[in-house]
A and B are shown apart, each in its own frame.
Chain A
Amino acid sequence: MHAVVMDRLEEFLADALNPAAQREVEAHLTSCDACREEIRSMQEVSQLFLSLRTEEPLVPALGLYARVIEQVSERKAVPSVANVFGLGFAFGRQLIFASLLTLAVLGSYLVVRESGYTAGPSPEAVMAQQESPSFDSAPAQDNMLVTMTAYEH
């Protein structure tokens, strides 16, 4: 849009330009298609706003202030997790800290206990042992036969 129109756009749309300026804008619009088209679209959109104007004033019901204050109190009284259990903020923080500390101690104990077990041969070592020529698989086969017989009964 050219400056000659843009400069006075708001007054033009509100139909509030002085006659000289109005003539100047209109003269430009007759010779500039782009400005004319853009102004036309803006005028059409501008007209739509009339539908948002209210003719009949709405009279607020009495006691709005009291109801607003009531709503504010309700919003302020939205309970937090600590309040639900009737706990103060400081106490809640101490409780969370104590819980975390207990978890850390338990975790450390479990880790130490697990590492205390004697580690058996690794899976690779067991496989190597079974594949070696000296490995005697007869006891394992006997065990298997006993198990299958037990199933049959």
Chain B
Amino acid sequence: MGTLVGTLTLPTFGSKVASKTRVDYQNTPEGALVQRAQAGEEAAFREIVERYQSKVFSIIHGIVRQRNDVEDIAQQVFAKVYLSLKSFDFRSSLITWIYKITVNECFDYLRKRKVRKLVYESDLSEDEVRRVENSEPAVDRQIPADSSLAQRDYVLKLLTRVSEEERMLLMLKEVEGFSVEELAEKTGMNENTIKVKLFRARQKLVKAAQRLDRTPGLVPG
């Protein structure tokens, strides 16, 4: 698998060169809203939060599945949006930018949770660790009973092996269901670039799955 890629030139995807002109996000109603928020208008930022909070909640819930933590992570996301809004350069749509921050925040949360768990367990004896593991909710167990949870844990593990950008593109494509054309419009990249990036990202996922010594076909479900 993937052996031909090294010998062939990377895809030109050349038959159909993207002819779409890039969307000028600065001159859209959303762009105007962002500019008002960048200028420090609190009402504009409030509108951004209210407009995208449901979407952000939904993304977070899809990844972490811990209802209690969704609100906390969403707060972190919008605090980051607030603090770095001045650096937003309109190269992509606002929701794409917020989407990227949200996905990164979720992975950061999962990483910290794992570290906390390791530190906590390192302070316990083997018997205590075993007792705690048996009392934890299924979502935190190494092999969750639910096959959907097992798949979720597995794909999240695979997604830690790709870059932030690749992760965002894969999520937008696979979870949100956007087409390549829509992705190009949302990210400001051309379609060929999107295709190449997705192709490389998919290859990395497949290789990561092989390295985990657990082929995707073995995942229950």
Chain A residues proximal to chain B, CB less than 8 Å:
1-3, 6-7, 9-11, 14, 16, 34-35, 37-38, 41-42, 44-54, 57-61, 64-65, 67-69, 71-72, 75
Give the dominant DSSP class at A's interface: helix
Interface string of B37-60 (1 = CB under 8 A from A): 000001001100110011001100
Query: In the bound complex, what is the Cα–Cα distance between A102 and B175 (angstroms)?
Result: 63
A45 contacts B205, CB within 8 Å?
Answer: yes
B199 contacts A6, CB within 8 Å?
Answer: yes
Chain B residues with CB below 8 A from A58, complex form: 54, 57-58, 61, 67, 70
Chain A residues with CB below 8 A from B180, complex form: 10-11
Interface string of B59-84 (1 = CB under 8 A from A): 00111000100110011101100110
> What residue of chain A has the Cβ atom nearest to residue B147's Cβ?
A51
Query: In the bound complex, what is the Cα–Cα distance between A11 and B146 (angstroms)?
Result: 30
Query: In the bound complex, what is the Cα–Cα distance between A54 and B60 (angstroms)?
Result: 10
Query: In the bound complex, what is the Cα–Cα distance between A71 and B72 (angstroms)?
Result: 10
Known: A1-B5, A46-B174. A57 touches B79 (CB 8 A): no
Q: How far is the CB of A19 from chain B (nearest CB, A)?
A: 18
Chain B residues with CB below 8 A from A68, complex form: 49, 75, 78-79, 82
Chain B residues with CB below 8 A from A10, complex form: 173, 179-180, 195, 198
Find B78's partner among A37, A42, A64 (CB 8 Å cutoff). Answer: A64
B4 contacts A2, CB within 8 Å?
Answer: yes
21 A-B contact pairs sorted by A residue (CB < 8 Å) = A7-B15, A9-B195, A9-B199, A34-B4, A35-B4, A38-B206, A41-B1, A42-B205, A45-B205, A48-B158, A53-B62, A53-B175, A54-B62, A57-B54, A60-B71, A60-B74, A61-B71, A65-B45, A68-B82, A72-B82, A75-B79
Knowing that A6-B11, A10-B173 touch, tell me 10 more A-B residue pairs with CB under 8 angstroms: A9-B195, A42-B206, A45-B155, A48-B155, A51-B149, A52-B175, A53-B175, A58-B70, A60-B53, A68-B78
Give the dominant DSSP class at B's interface: helix
A-B contact count (CB 8 A): 135
Chain B residues proximal to chain A, CB less than 8 Å:
1-5, 8, 11-13, 15, 42, 45-46, 49-50, 53-54, 57-58, 61-63, 67, 70-71, 74-76, 78-79, 82-83, 148-149, 151-152, 154-156, 158, 170-171, 173-175, 177, 179-180, 195, 198-199, 202, 205-206, 209, 215-217, 219, 221
A2 contacts B8, CB within 8 Å?
Answer: yes
What 8 A-B pairs are tightest by C-beta distance, nearest first?
Answer: A44-B216, A49-B174, A48-B155, A51-B151, A51-B152, A68-B78, A6-B11, A58-B57
A57 contacts B58, CB within 8 Å?
Answer: yes
Chain B residues with CB below 8 A from A6, complex form: 11, 13, 199
Query: In the bound complex, what is the Cα–Cα distance between A64 and B61 (angstroms)?
Result: 16
Chain A residues with CB below 8 A from B50, complex form: 65
Q: How far is the CB of B215 from chain A (nearest CB, A)?
A: 8
Find B63's partner among A44, A52, A57, A67 (CB 8 Å cutoff). Answer: A52
Chain B residues with CB below 8 A from A48, complex form: 151, 154-155, 158, 216, 219
